[in-house]
Amino acid sequence: MRLILWDVDGTLLSTDGIAAEAMREAMRRVVGPAAPMERTAYAGKTDWQIIRESFPTLPPDTIAERLQEFVETYLGLLEARRDALVARSRVFPGVVAALEALETVGYQAPLTGNIAAVAQLKLECVGLTAYLDLAAGAYGDDHYHRPDLVPIAAARAAARYGQSFHANQIVIVGDTPNDIACGKLNGARTVAVATGPYPLEELLAHHPDAALPDLTDVAAVMAAVVGT
């Protein structure tokens, strides 16, 4: 079996700006007014990386403290918005059918820059936790460098399923150039999907193994993930 690792935001779901708003508020509280606020400033980055880049001169142990402070603030703000998340978040078209179809060819887990608790909250609010093994995933509080999340997820999946996953058995699905780079650096198969902030042509310029406009064509998703 393969290990299919899914990015969350822009790939599986949108929180209609609710999570971004909570993150900006948490950044304002923890980082201050100098925090970067553009939409693509965070795309494909881990939450830990965002905190590191926000404090370029701080030593690593102080960064870890700030990360913890950020995690608590951000999670608290999101929990307070749970009703809005449930009401306004949406799963992108085709996602559920794709996840169901791919169950026959691989284990599926999140690989996301979101801290684990935030990823879980977002996935719970849209009912996707039934399709993904959260304990086999890797998250933005596991490592600041997204490519380093792949071996973490592979090790967790190996422990859970009793099989090791070599690079050629791992598939990364995501909506940004950072997702593609993360897969390539690990020798994994990369599938880009243009449901986030990057148009298809821009994703294609980063040479993913496959690229899709969205996940609505289950046969196309299957072919993209499995390869030919």
Question: In the complex, which residues of this chain contact Mg ion (CB under 5 A)?
Answer: 7, 9-10, 175
Q: Residue 147, Cα to own-chain centre: how many angstroms?
A: 12
> Considering beta carbons, is residue 12 or 31 the nearer one to Mg ion?
12
Q: Which of 43, 79, 49 is nearest to 179 (CA)?
A: 43
> Considering beta carbons, is residue 83 or 123 the nearer one to Mg ion?
123
Could you tell me if 212 and 201 are in contact, meaning their C-beta atoms sit under 8 angstroms apart? no
> Considering beta carbons, is residue 47 or 175 the nearer one to Mg ion?
175
Count helices and strands in the chain by DSSP H and E runs:
10, 7
Q: How far is the CB of 113 from Mg ion (least distance, A)?
A: 7
> Considering beta carbons, is residue 69 or 214 the nearer one to Mg ion?
214
Q: How far is the CB of 5 from Mg ion (least distance, A)?
A: 12
47: how many CB neighbours lie within 10 A of its CB?
Answer: 25
Could you tell me if 24 and 76 are in contact, meaning their C-beta atoms sit under 8 angstroms apart? no
For the record, the structure tokens of 82 come out as 């749970």
Q: How far is the CB of 123 from Mg ion (least distance, A)?
A: 13
Q: How far is the CB of 173 from Mg ion (least distance, A)?
A: 10
